[in-house]
Amino acid sequence: MAEKADLRTPIVCVLGHIDHGKTSLLDNIRGTCIAEQEKGAITQHIGATEVPLATIQDKCGLLMKGDFKIPGLFFIDTPGHHAFTTLRSRGGSLADLAVLVVDVTEGFQPQTTEALKILSRFKTPFVLAANKIDRIHGWRPNEDKTFIATYESQSEYTKRLLDDLTYRLISQLHEIGFSSDRYDRIRDFQKNIGVIPISAKTGEGIPDLLTILVGLAQRFLEKDLRIHAKGPGVGTVLEVKEEKGLGTTLDVILYDGEIKTGDKIIVGSYDEPIVTRVRALLKPRPMAEIRIEEKFQRVDKVIAAAGIKVVANSLETALAGSPMRVVDDMALVEQISKDIKSELDEVKIKKGEIGVILKADTIGSLEALVQELNDAKVPIWRGDVGDISKRDIIEAATIRDPYLSVVIGFGVDILQDAKDEALKSNVQVFQGNVIYQLLEDYVNWVKKQRSISDRLGLEAIVRAGSFMLMRGCMFRQSKPAIVGVKILGGKIKSGVSVIKEDGVRIGTIKGIQEHGENIAEAVAGKEVAISIEGPVVGRQIKEGDILYVDIPKKHAKILEQELRDTIPADELETLEAFLEIKRKNDPFWAR
């Protein structure tokens, strides 16, 4: 059997839907521990709270019977599933256990479902904390009591209400494929998920939750918690931050070995791994919240498992979710660098023959997004970490399949030049912070587009476009007329008919040229030469005239009623001007 000195603290990740009580639960555990223990009994590190075993035993009282070898519990104090996917290692997650927090009065929500998918994929043991039992009608709170003690003090009516809500959660878990029951009715926690009713507000049930977590770690995870306390540290980068006076820093979860000031470290990045030295190791003051902390304490050494802020040079391109390794043998630098690069390259999706383009905020998020799209059988052309760039839009525009000419971004922004490029093209951009919802948005969009295509048959939808005949750019008077124009909004293509501002049909665009080269289409802002079959310059058209693409009635109806939300601003403005022209004489045209 391993001795206590050989076992690291189990890493517990807290997940759940927004506002279901993740932060409140951690605040209660921290607050309870402060009240129960002398100052310094709990060490809060970067994005995490370490709760010693002695503190847990004092809190849980008689529930904590037996000899426990683990040092305590190490809660990851970062937002929900995002922390879980970021806290990764090759082929899995570093979280030993997880707590899925669900508002017992609301039941499962989108992020709950997403969290369960991630837990299932990584095969991470977890319990479900059914939070906010104090909100049940008629509930009589008993602060910090065990669940059984507070449950027995409730009226029969309130007990029935709680039982109904608890079994709703059990039923929802069953629908997803998990066997579960209320924790006190479970004999085998390896086969069943424990549902633990709690109140993060009053502390009720939290002793039960802590006891179950310690018990699971002690009974089933002991062999996974052995560490090499004096070996070179191994960790995962949770966040890359710019800190005033420090430059770019890393928030790291160290899960094995130790790290010291002056150590050489290797960190994964957008390009080649970064090799640098630790200038300083920092942690917040005891019990200070990292998100608002301004003064950090310097430490010389940290032993796993722990959270720490690492200060070093050349960290600007470091990747959240990437490995961080301490190097104690200079001969191993090249090999460790190769290993880290190989691990990151495995995650990044290389160019396939065809598919969507993916961008994510961390390596772990990209892994989860790729898995979801693979499950949904959506082909992927390329996947990478970082904000959506102009290059991403340009590459997506080359995909001929309109349903795959798409960029899907999780937890990232779209750069301004990329936004401008997207407005000029047919590339659809999907952004969000819930993978489950992001995929659903994309799938629903594809269904909508296919439905429209089915109704139109093989006929391509004609989009809105307007242009002005530029002065001094009349190259041929007729048969066909060739004129220089500036595209004002939307786009124009060969083969479309055009009308004047009074609604009179002028003719058909036969061709478009830019710098003497034939092009298929021209978008807003472009100045091109076009040939128009039908009009005579000086009679039907003249310099300064504004012409509009003549959109067929059924196309105009679809554009206005079904695709309005997907149309770029300049094209939408053009469409509205065109509809106003058409509806002067027929107010119900295309309605």
DSSP characters over 176-215: HT--EEEGGG-S-TTTSEEEEE--TTT-TTHHHHHHHHHH
pLDDT of residue 405: 92
56 and 176 assigned to the same domain:
yes
- All residues at 6 or more sequence positions from 396 whose CB lies less than 8 Å from its CB, including other chains: 356, 357, 405, 406, 407, 425, 427
Asked whether the beta carbons of 225 and 70 are under 8 A apart, the reply is: yes
Do 359 and 311 belong together in one domain? Answer: no
> In the predicted model, is pLDDT for residue 287 greater than 50?
no
Residue 126 covered by a domain: yes
Residue 69: pLDDT over 70: yes
Selected residue with higher pLDDT from 501 and 29: 501
Question: Is the predicted pLDDT of residue 151 greater than 80, yes or no?
Answer: yes
Q: Are 85 and 365 in contact (CB under 8 A)?
A: yes
Q: Is 121 helix (H, G, I), strand (E, B) or coil?
A: helix
Asked if pLDDT for residue 501 goes beyond 90, the answer is yes
Question: Residue 542's pLDDT is what?
Answer: 93
Residues 483 and 525 in one domain: yes
In the predicted model, what is the mean pLDDT of residues 144-172?
A: 96
Average pLDDT over residues 73-82: 64
Domain with 393 in it: what CATH number? Answer: 3.40.50.10050
Distance CA(164)–CA(180), nearest Å, equals 15
Q: How far apart are CA 143 and CA 422, in angstroms?
A: 55
Q: How confident is the model at residue 1 (pLDDT cuts 50, 70, 90)?
A: very low
Q: pLDDT exceeding 70 applies to what percent of the chain?
A: 87
Question: Helix (H, G, I), strand (E, B), or coil: what is residue 417?
Answer: helix
Tell me whether residue 589 is in a domain: no
- 513 part of a folded domain: yes
Between 470 and 115, residue with greater pLDDT: 470
Q: Place 100 in a pLDDT band, splitting at 50, 70 and 90.
A: very high
Which of 156-165, 173-182, 522-531, 566-575 shows the lowest mean pLDDT across its residues?
Answer: 566-575
Picking from 430, 456, 482, the residue at the C-terminal end of a domain is: 456
CATH number, domain with residue 58 = 3.40.50.300
Please give the DSSP secondary-structure letter assigned to residue 464. P
Instruction: Give the pLDDT of residue 303.
Output: 82
The count of other CB atoms within 10 Å of the CB of residue 272 is: 11
What is the residue type of 86? T
pLDDT interval class at 502 (50, 70, 90): very high
Query: pLDDT, tens digit, for every residue of 508-527?
Result: 999 999 988 999 889 999 99
35 compared with 169, residue with greater pLDDT = 169
Q: Is the pLDDT of residue 284 over 70?
A: no
pLDDT confidence band for 286 (50 / 70 / 90)? very low
At 31-52, the pLDDT tens digits run: 745 334 433 445 554 556 778 8
Q: Is there a single domain that holds both residue 357 and residue 253?
A: no
Question: Who contacts 119 (Cβ-Cβ below 8 Å, separation ≥6)?
Answer: 15, 84, 98, 100, 126
| Residue 86 reports pLDDT greater than 70 | no
Give residue 143's pLDDT: 93
In this prediction the pTM is 0.64
Q: Which of 28-32, 146-150, 258-262, 407-411 has the lowest mean pLDDT?
A: 28-32
Q: What confidence score (pLDDT) does residue 229 get?
A: 55
Amino acid identity of residue 208, one-letter, is: D
Of the two residues 37 and 99, the one the predictor is more confident about is: 99
Cβ-contact 90, 4 below 8 angstroms: no
In the predicted model, is pLDDT for residue 489 greater than 80? Answer: yes
Instruction: State residue 231 phi and psi, 5-degree precision.
Output: -85, 175
In terms of domains, do 333 and 363 share one? no
| Count of domains for the chain | 4
Residues 6+ apart with CB under 8 A from 310: 249, 250, 251, 252, 259, 265, 278, 280, 281, 282, 324
User: Are residue 129 and residue 265 in the same domain, yes or no?
Assistant: no
In a domain, 143, yes or no: yes
Q: How many residues does the chain have?
A: 591
**587 in a structural domain:** no
- Is residue 38 domain-shared with residue 152, that is, in the same domain? yes
Mean pLDDT of 185-201: 94
pLDDT digits (tens, 9 = 90+) for 544-591: 999 999 999 989 998 888 888 778 888 999 999 999 999 998 999 988
State mean pLDDT over 339-349: 77
Domain boundary among 225, 259, 286: 225
Alpha helices in 37-155 (DSSP H): 53-60, 80-86, 110-122, 147-152
Give the tokens for residue 31: 């607050």
Domain's final residue, options 203, 225, 247:
225
For the cut 70, the answer to whether the pLDDT of residue 249 exceeds it is yes
Whether 346 has a pLDDT exceeding 70, the answer reads yes
Q: What is the mean pLDDT of the chain?
A: 85
Query: Within a domain: residue 591?
Result: no
Do residues 357 and 415 both lie within one domain?
Answer: yes
CATH number at residue 520: 2.40.30.10
pLDDT of residue 288: 44
Looking at the chain, the whole-number percentage of residues with pLDDT higher than 90 is 46
Cis peptide before 318 (omega within 30 of 0): no
Examine the domain organization and report whether 440 and 479 are in the same domain: no
| Residue 52: other Cβ atoms inside 10 A | 17
Between CA 294 and CA 243 the distance in angstroms is: 9
Residues 220 and 269 in one domain: no
Mode of pairing for the β-strands spanning 497-500 and 481-493: unpaired
588 domain-assigned: no
Pick the more confident residue, 346 or 90. Answer: 346
Write out the E strands in 263-330: 264-267, 274-284, 296-299, 301-303, 306-312, 323-327
Range of the domain at 434: 348-456
Cβ atoms 308, 302 nearer than 8 A = yes
Query: Domain for residue 40, yes or no?
Result: yes
What pLDDT was estimated at residue 40? 40
- Cβ neighbours of residue 72 under 8 Å, at least 6 residues apart? 9, 50, 51, 52, 53, 54, 55, 56
Q: Determine which of 63-77, 152-166, 415-429, 475-489 has the lowest per-residue pLDDT on average.
A: 63-77
CB–CB of 433/462 below 8 Å? no
Nearest to 315 by CA among 242, 236, 388: 242
| Residue 334 pLDDT greater than 60, yes or no | yes
State which H helix or E strand residue 222 sits in: none
Assigned token pair, 289: 């919240």
Q: Do 64 and 201 sit in the same domain of this protein?
A: yes
Residues 216 and 238 placed together within one structural domain of the fold: no
Least confident residue range of 44-53, 306-315, 371-380: 44-53
